[in-house]
Amino acid sequence: MKALLVDDEPLTIESLRKYITWDELGIDELESASNGKEALELAKHFKPQIVVSDVRMPRMNGIEFATRLKETYPDSKIIFLSGYSDKEYLKSAIELKAVRYVEKPVKLDELTLALRESISQYKLEQQTRYVTKDYMEQQWISNWTQTQSNTPTFVNITNSPSYAFMNNRILPITVLAAPLGDEIEEMDQTLHGIVHWMRDHAAHCSITGIVDSRTIMAILPADDSSMETHAERAAWILQELQHIYGSTFDFSIGIGSVIDRESGFVESIQKSIELSHLAFYKGYRRVFTGNYEMLNDTAISVLDEDLFNTYRIHLRSEQEDKACQIIEQQTINLRRLMDCNTQRVAGIYFHYLLALHEFAMDKGLALTDRHQERIYIWKEIDKITSLEGLNAYVVDNVKAVFAQWKAKHAVNARISEVYQFIQDHYHLSHLTTRMISDHAYLSKTYMCALFKKETGKTINEYITEVRITKAKELLQDRRMKLYEIATSIGLTDSNYFSSMFKKATGLTPTQYREKL
């Protein structure tokens, strides 16, 4: 549960956060605000169920805040805090149905008791409000979807509250909702809003509920009208839904067959679900009936191992265009098959993305944990609601990875050029970063920053590293004097050479030579 603390005294907020055992009370999310106005803004996305608020605060006092909060979140429970014995405030708190009115300085045991009461009251109200017609019909739909198998046993339709008001014949329709954009806030609440709209305006005396996170089912009373008439009715529902929710959803509707309400509806309902999923292949904002040919309604999509292995070969050989062509071919094959189990289809593209991720890791492009990456990839795939969308998503990822690889390859070429120049010119006493950057046709600042980012060391550190390595080789020749070795590696001061060598190796050049 979520709780919100509102008080203009930071010490009070800090004390309540620290000394109240929120997790034991069942509060797993806790936020705070310093006044009513700030709290009201925070509540828009936090949606607190329990609120502990001071009464007297600047900008917006606790009573005004609670009044406005209740307009949007009437179920939230309020506990007021105040250091004043003000009858008018107390009266307002009673009118707002505040659970308790706790005086300051706050006694932790008194506030804890008030919190327990408010949490208990909130949970009880939530349990009670679900025992309604809406809940019973949703439960009927849920029970049915949970009992599906190869030979499903349909939950007794007479358990539905609307059963007695339905005709002898019924018509199942399925509404499939496709979210627009990456994130749809309050998805579950929106789907319930769509269900309520259908009950009020489009599906009177029906059984209507949510099947899953994107699917709504309605069992409508029907007569012997033609399928064209039923399709017109569904088209009107579709048009209205698009008008109301079109900024956040696209819809498709699948219509089953008109059947007796006592028997024969398992296949019809399943057919309506399968037909609604044709939008995955043919596009949304359409009504699908049995007149639309299912090319293979028993098709099962499986990963084409030969095609997939060819894709991996193209990745390893760095053939971007050919890898993308394989994905396009896979999409053509799946469009021809039209498997109604779109999760199964998404799983195929999931494998293609995992192979791409492995390629990226091999090239040093992927930095995330492999397990976490799998979870992220599946979440992204699961948001996509069309075959074309899956195809475009994977192709775009292939192009993005190759673009990153090409950029990294270009950087590596520049870094290699810097490496080579230093190795060829380390013996020059006048070797500088400016000389190196001029050779590489890069600005000095950019080259130094790029080198540090890619290698983890500075240009000067690398020059020193090369010179020390060469000095170790020269020290093996005992005929060479230390000043000669220093000059050979670009240093004019033998004392500086000794100091630099000891700092790098822990030994002076003489000590190092003696250990050889």
**Backbone phi, then psi, for 229, in 5-degree steps?**
-65, -45
Where does the chain hold its CATH 3.40.50.2300 domain(s)? 2-129
Q: Please say if the pLDDT value at position 44 is more than 60.
A: yes
Higher per-residue pLDDT: 234 or 103: 234
* Res 140: pLDDT: 56
Tokens of 250: 């696209």
Mean predicted confidence (pLDDT) in 444-468: 89
Q: What CA dihedral angle connects 458, 461, 467 and 469, to 10 degrees?
A: -100
The closest of 277, 259, 273, 256 to 157, measured between CA atoms, is: 259
pLDDT tens per residue, range 389-426: 999 999 999 998 898 888 777 777 778 888 889 999 99
**Mean pLDDT in residue range 251-267:** 78
Please tell me the class of the 2-129 domain.
Answer: alpha beta
Interstrand relation of 259-260 and 169-179 (parallel, antiparallel or unpaired): antiparallel
pLDDT at residue 153 greater than cutoff 80: no
Identify the pLDDT of residue 486: 93
Q: 30 vs 82, which has greater pLDDT?
A: 30
Q: Give kind and range of the element (H or E) at residue 118.
A: helix 108-129
Closest CA to 29 of 51, 44, 9, 58: 51
Q: What CATH fold (topology level) applies to the domain 426-515?
A: Arc Repressor Mutant, subunit A (1.10.10)
Report the 10 Å Cβ neighbour count for 445: 10
Q: Kindly report the CA angle at 113 between 111 and 116, in degrees rounded to 5?
A: 110
Residue 415 CA, chain-centre distance (Å), reads 36
The mean per-residue pLDDT over the stretch 420-437 comes to 91
Indicate the range of 182-186, 252-256, 379-383 predicted with least confidence: 182-186
- Model pLDDT, residue 340: 81
Average pLDDT, integer, range 296-323 = 87
Q: Which two tokens stand for residue 121?
A: 């009251």
Average pLDDT over residues 339-349: 88
The predicted structure's pLDDT at residue 253: 94
pTM for the model stands at: 0.54
pLDDT at 139: 58
**Token pair of 228 as six digits:** 């064209």
Report, as an integer, the average pLDDT of 461-467. Answer: 93
Query: Within the chain, which residue ranges are assigned CATH 1.10.10.60?
Result: 426-515
- Residue limits of CATH 3.30.70.270 in the chain: 160-288
Residue with token string 């007479």: 158
Q: Which CATH architecture has domain 160-288?
A: 2-Layer Sandwich (3.30)
Q: Which of 44, 39, 66, 46 is nearest to 55 (CA)?
A: 66
Residue 155: predicted pLDDT = 42
**Where does the pLDDT of residue 182 fall: very low under 50, low under 70, confident under 90, or very high at 90 and above?**
low
